[in-house]
Amino acid sequence: MAITRMTLDEDQAKVPKVDRAKMDATTEEDIRRHMAEDDEDPNATPRLEDWYPSVATLRQRLGMTQEHFARAIRVPVATLRNWEQHRVEPDPAAKALLWIIYREPEAALRALAA
């Protein structure tokens, strides 16, 4: 894969690869059918303890670079990159921190900065 350099403006001007119209047109029935096709029980109660906010999405939502976000949550940049690239899953304490930042970003970052 080739690495190209571009400015932030160029990157943000790119057309997203996600077809939002197709996503919006997806019905609950479609989702249930897809789950059944993937051998998942569409009637099962979701296990939220297994879910945690996407590290990359959370960081981008806060408008932070990897370096800035890693410094703010006090982890090495390499660790943050491993989480974002799904090489390593955050441990339970890190998941809890990500949940706190997801729910109350200003308070969490203010507390971490103190």
What would the pLDDT profile of 21-48 be if each residue is shown by its tens digit? 888 899 999 999 999 999 988 888 766 6
User: What is the crossing angle of helices 105-113 and 92-103, to 10°?
Assistant: 120
- Per residue in 55-70, pLDDT (tens digit) is 999 999 999 999 999 9
Residue 42 lies in a domain: no
Give the end-to-end CA distance of the chain in Å, rounded to a whole number: 41
Residue 22 lies in a domain: no
Query: For position 64, which CATH number holds?
Result: 1.10.260.40
Domain housing 89: 48-113
Whether the predicted pLDDT of 98 surpasses 90: yes
Average pLDDT over residues 84-97: 93
Residue 86 lies in a domain: yes
Q: What letters, b where the CB count within 10 A reaches 16 and e where it falls short, cover 5-24?
A: eeeeeeeeeeeeeeeeeeee
Whether the predicted pLDDT of 51 surpasses 80: no
Query: CA-to-CA distance for 54 and 10, rounded, in angstroms?
Result: 24
| Per-residue pLDDT, 30 | 93
User: Count of domains in the chain?
Assistant: 1
Query: CA-to-CA distance for 71 and 68, rounded, in angstroms?
Result: 5
